Amino acid sequence: MLALAYGLSYDLIVRGFGPYQALLDEIVELVGRSSPARASRQLTKVLDITCGVGTVAFRLSREGYTVVALDPVEHLVAVARRRNRQYPASRLTFYHLDLARDTLRGEGTFDALVSMHSLYWHPDPRALLEACRRALKPGGHGIFLTYGRPAHVLRTFLDIRAREGIGEAVRALRWLLPTALFEMVRRGEPNYLSQEEFHRALAGAGFEVLESRRTFLAQISLVAWARTPVRRAGETPRKEGGDDSTRQRQ
């Protein structure tokens, strides 16, 4: 019920919230760069692995992509499905599923995957990342976001004020205050990652990090655009390790 309450309120919080909409624009841009050459958006399959009530999934669907959206919280999926009934022509489907534990229909067929701040709260992030790699086609791309530090209200407010002025800092409280409250009452220990730890986790699951940068409010989030290994003809699938090398764009 806590997750449901936060999921419903979160959709209202971020609707029209400039920094979050800019983050969605970043995701859309990276998904566009992940599309196979000359493929139409309709033929590009995108997996949203922790969709909540569907905020990211609906945006990608409106952009023309075929989207499969998952969430381990059944109540949130039910809300997303009800919302989706308003769009009968939508190429968007929702499933109650934890990718790290459950069987995914269509594994290995997705061109792109979005993991929106999933790693910092998931109880088994390594299993989740390995499942992400298996979900993608060889050479498919993952867009991963994770928090690099807690969104402490005062610290983040002061950082935003220093960067962008008092007006933007006050507007940021719309997201900061309910998020801080939710973090206080939720169960589990959050797993905040440095950029180096983030890259190491992705490489350990078989991803090559193509680009990485800090983003969102006062740079509290990390986004990485990563790729699975391209399988050569006659090569049998195997788990890739990779290294920590990356072309970073700060």
CATH number of the domain within which 82 lies: 3.40.50.150
Residue 162 lies in a domain: no
| Residue with more model confidence, 120 or 188 | 120
Question: How many other CB atoms sit within 10 Å of the CB of residue 230?
Answer: 11
Give the chain's length. Answer: 250
Q: What is the pLDDT of residue 44?
A: 96
121-155 pLDDT tens trace: 999 999 999 999 999 999 999 999 999 999 899 99
Residues spanned by the domain of 25 = 21-151+190-227
CB 78 within 8 A of CB 8: no
CB 117 within 8 A of CB 146: yes
Give the chain's domain count: 1
Q: What is the pLDDT of residue 245?
A: 36
pTM: 0.88
Q: Where are the alpha helices (DSSP H) in the chain?
A: 2-14, 18-34, 55-62, 74-84, 125-135, 153-164, 166-185, 195-204
Residue 180 lies in a domain: no
State which amino acid sits at residue 188: G
Residue 213 lies in a domain: yes
Q: Where are the alpha helices (DSSP H) in 85-215?
A: 125-135, 153-164, 166-185, 195-204
* Alpha carbon 39 to its chain's center: 23
Residue 42 lies in a domain: yes
Residue 139 lies in a domain: yes
165-183 pLDDT tens trace: 999 999 999 999 988 888 8
Q: Taking 80 as the threshold, does the pLDDT of residue 35 lie above it?
A: yes
156-167 pLDDT tens trace: 999 999 999 999
Residue 215 lies in a domain: yes
Residues 6+ apart with CB under 8 A from 103: none
Among 224, 208, 3, residue whose Cα is nearest residue 117? 224
Q: How far apart are CA 195 and CA 143, in angstroms?
A: 15
Residue 5 lies in a domain: no
Residue 158 lies in a domain: no
Q: Taking 70 as the threshold, does the pLDDT of residue 241 lie above it?
A: no
